[in-house]
């Protein structure tokens, strides 16, 4: 008989505990939870899953510009460059309006926009976008390097070399800048090609 009361007491406890556990579980799945899950998927390069998690986080916290930026980044990582611009524009709108609650640097948005233009072969269009990124954070080597790359692709070797040297002043061991500088110097020392070739 005593055993039966113990079993009933345990069952009653579990019945009362179940809603509390469910409520706690639902509470955990808030915007930060989904952002973290998205970040985990990005680390595993499972970008489609990351997008879904970030979209859930954005629905719960629409003023968090970093989440919107991460959606754009995950699309870009999949090569879906047509999908990311609306999210970058939304992130930019949040940052510029002062509504962003994540303190996303505006330069990050411009740098990502420039990167999409570079990957799309729109080097000339990328230049003013990288200027905005550099203006927002003059000590950040990333946009300076990509502007140098765009100049190189546009055959403006003098400007590309100047920008590469600037990157190397900021980060002397910047491997991509060292490689690009070598390519530029090789182009500058090469004899001009004849018009018939």
Alpha-carbon gap, residue 137 to 164, rounded angstroms: 17
CATH of the domain at 38: 1.25.40.10
The answer to whether residue 170 scores a pLDDT higher than 70 is yes
DSSP 192: P
Same domain for 119 and 153: yes
**pLDDT level of residue 3 (50, 70, 90 thresholds):** low
| pLDDT digits 0-9 by tens, 70-111 | 999 999 999 999 999 999 999 999 999 999 999 999 999 999
Find the helix or strand (DSSP H, E) in which 155 lies.
none
The answer to whether residue 18 scores a pLDDT higher than 80 is no
197: in domain: no
Alpha-carbon gap, residue 22 to 30, rounded angstroms: 14
Last residue of a domain, one of 60, 87, 114: 87
The answer to whether residue 130 scores a pLDDT higher than 90 is yes
In the prediction, which pLDDT does 194 show?
46
16: in domain: no
In the prediction, which pLDDT does 15 show?
54
Alpha-carbon gap, residue 179 to 128, rounded angstroms: 24
Segments forming the whole domain that contains residue 110: 105-187
Cα separations in angstroms, 48 against 35, 65, 172, 173: 14, 19, 36, 34
Same domain for 116 and 72: no
95: in domain: no
75: in domain: yes
């Amino acid at each position: 008989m005593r055993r039966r009361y113990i079993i009933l007491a345990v069952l009653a406890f579990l019945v009362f505990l179940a809603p509390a556990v469910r409520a706690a579980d639902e509470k955990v799945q808030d915007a930060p939870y989904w952002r973290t899950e998205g970040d985990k998927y990005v680390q595993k390069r499972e970008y489609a899953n990351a997008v879904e998690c970030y979209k859930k986080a954005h629905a719960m916290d629409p003023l968090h510009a970093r989440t919107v930026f991460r959606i754009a980044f995950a699309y870009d990582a999949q090569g879906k460059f047509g999908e990311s611009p609306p999210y970058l524009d939304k992130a930019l709108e949040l940052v510029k309006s002062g509504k962003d609650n994540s303190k996303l640097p505006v330069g990050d948005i411009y740098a990502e926009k420039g990167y999409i233009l570079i990957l799309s072969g729109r080097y000339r269009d990328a230049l003013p976008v990288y200027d905005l990124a550099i203006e927002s954070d003059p000590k950040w080597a990333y946009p300076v390097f990509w502007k140098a790359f765009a100049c190189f692709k546009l055959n403006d070797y003098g400007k590309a070399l100047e920008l590469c040297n600037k990157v190397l002043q900021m980060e002397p061991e910047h491997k991509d800048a060292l490689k690009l500088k070598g390519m530029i110097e090789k182009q500058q020392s090469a004899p001009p090609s004849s018009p018939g070739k």
